[in-house]
Structure 1
Amino acid sequence: MAKRIITISREYGSGGRFIGEEVARKLGIAYYDKDIIGQIAEQSGLSPEYIKENAELSPKKGLFAYAFAGRDITGKSIEDIVYEAQRKVILELAGKEPCVIVGRNADYILKDRDDVLNVFIHGDMPEKTQRIMGLYNVEEKEAVKMMADTDKRRMTNYSFYTEQKWGKASNYTLCLNSSQLGYDRCEKIIMECGK
C-alpha cells in the first residue's frame, strides 16, 4: 500500500526538518512542523509561545517533572493537555490529506494506520556540530550542549507519552544517517519507500 503520510523524527542537527520539507515539496504534499503550533494552541487553550516550547520537548527538569507536574481535578497536567491537543491535531491532519509531519511523536500517534512511513534521521556528531554552529552562529561547545539538551528532552517526552525508546530502529520503518547518505539520497530513499 502506498504511504500517504510520512513522519520524520530526528536528532537535533541531523537535517531531518530540512529533509522532510524537501520531500513534501518534491512530492507536492502538505508539510507540517512548527506551523501546527497555532492549531495545538487553539485546541488546548494555551498560548502559541507555550506550545512552541513544550509540545515536543519534555520540561527542562526531565522525566521527574512529569511525575510532579501539577494536575487538575481530572488528573491531567498542562503537559498532558498539550499532548492530547497535539495528538488530536495530528490525527486530523493525517485524516485530511497526504502529508509529511516532522516530530511531535507523530510516528506513535499514527501507529495504527497502515499508510504511514515512519522515518528516523540521525547523523554523525562532527557533521551535526558543524551544522548547528553554522545555523545558530555558536561555538562548538555550545552546539554540542544544544544537541545534547534538545535530544534529551525529545527522548524524555517520547518515552513518557509512548512508553517506547526514541530513536530505536524497531519503532520506525526507516532509519537514515544523513551524515553518511547526504540529504539528497535520504530524500530519494524516503520518496521511493513511500510509493
Structure 2
Amino acid sequence: METIITIGREFGSGGREIGEQVADRFGIKCYDKELIARAAKESGFCEEMIETHDERPTNSFMYNLVMDTYSFGYNSSSFVDMPISHKVFLAQFDAIKNLAKEGPCIIVGRCADYALSDYPNVVNLFITGNEKDKIARIRARFADLTSDEKARDMMVKKDKQRRSYYNYYSSKKWGHCDSYDLTINSSILGIEDTVNFIVDFVNKFEASKRG
C-alpha cells in the first residue's frame, strides 16, 4: 500500500465511517478530527482554536494575503496580522503535507486533495448520499435532533460551510465530479459495499501505477 486517499464528503453521507473502514482494510491511519490535534501540535495553536475554525468559510478579500503569507511562512509580519481562520487553514495545510510525507494514510476533508495536488500517489474521493439516508444518519448521531427538519437544517448548514471553505481555498468546486478521481453515492451500495468498492478501486489504481 503506497497510496494516500483523500475524502471529501457531504454531511451525513458516512464519509468519515467509510474512511475509517477503508483505513482498517489497508492497515493505515485515518485522519479526520485527529488532524486538529496534529495541526495544533505542529503550529503551537491550541486545539480549541483550530476546532472552532475547522472547515469554516472566510472572507474572500483576504485570499491574496493568505497565499502571500504562505510563501513567506509563519514568521512573516503578514502572518501576525492574519485572521485566525487563515492561520488555522495554513496550520492544517502544513499538517496534511507532513502526514503525506510519513506514508500512506486517509485524510478526510480540509482541502486535503488541494494540499496534496502535486503528489502522484493520491486518490481523491467524494462521498455523497441520498437525503433520506443522510438525515437518518445525522439523527442517529445527534440525539438532540428531534425531527427530520432539524437534521436537514444542520445538513444544509454544514454542507454550505464545507462548500464555501473548499471553493475558497482550492482552485476547484466542492462536490463537482471533475474535482475528484471518484465520486460515490453511499446510498447505492451501503457503507460496507462502498468500502469494498473503494478498496478495489485503490488496488487497481496501485496496480496501474506498477504497470
Q: Answer yes or no: same fold by TM over 0.5.
A: yes
2:124 to 118, 136, 139: 118
Question: What is the DSSP-based 3-state SS (H/G/I as helix, E as strand, rest coil) of the residue aligned with 1:114?
Answer: coil
Residue equivalent to 2:178: 170
CA distance in 2 between counterparts of 1:44 and 1:20 reads: 25
Residue 96 (structure 2) pairs with residue 90 (structure 1): yes
Give the match's secondary structure for 1:117. strand
Aligned partner of residue 194 in structure 1, secondary structure: helix
Whether contact under 8 Å (2:56, 2:85) holds in the other structure is no
Q: Secondary structure at the match of 1:121?
A: strand
- Paired residue type of 1:19: I
Q: What is the aligned-residue RMSD (CA, Å)? A: 2.1
Structure 1 position 4 matched with structure 2 position 3? yes
AA of the residue aligned to 2:104:
P
| Residue matched to 2:61 | 67
Once the two structures are superposed, the pairs formed by residues 1-195 of structure 1 within 5 Å of their partners are 4-58=3-57, 63=58, 65-67=59-61, 73-74=77-78, 76-137=82-143, 138=145, 139-195=147-203
Distance 1:32 1:135 in 2: 19
Distance 2:56 2:188 in 1: 27
- Read off the aligned partner of 2:128 and give its amino acid letter: H
Give the letter aligned to residue 142 of structure 1. K
Unaligned runs of 5+ in 2: 67-75, 204-211
Letter of the 1:164 counterpart: K
Rg bigger for which structure? 2
Asked if the contact 1:120/1:167 (under 8 Å) is kept, the reply is yes
CA contact (8 A) 2:5 2:105 kept: yes
Identity score, percent: 39
Deviation >4 Å, runs of 4+: none
1:99, distance to aligned residue in structure 2 (A)? 0.6
Look up the equivalent residue of 1:176 and give its one-letter code: I
Which structure 1 segments of 5+ residues have no match? none
One-letter identity of the residue aligned with 1:184: E
| Structure-1 separation of matches of 2:50 and 2:34 | 11
What TM-score results when the alignment is normalised by the length of structure 2? 0.83
Distance 2:62 2:2 in 1: 39
In the TM superposition, residue 55 of structure 1 has moved relative to its aligned partner by 2.4
* Aligned AA (2:107): I
- Secondary structure in structure 1 of the residue aligned to 2:39: helix
**Structure with higher helix content:** 2
**Further displaced range: 106-115 or 8-17:** 106-115
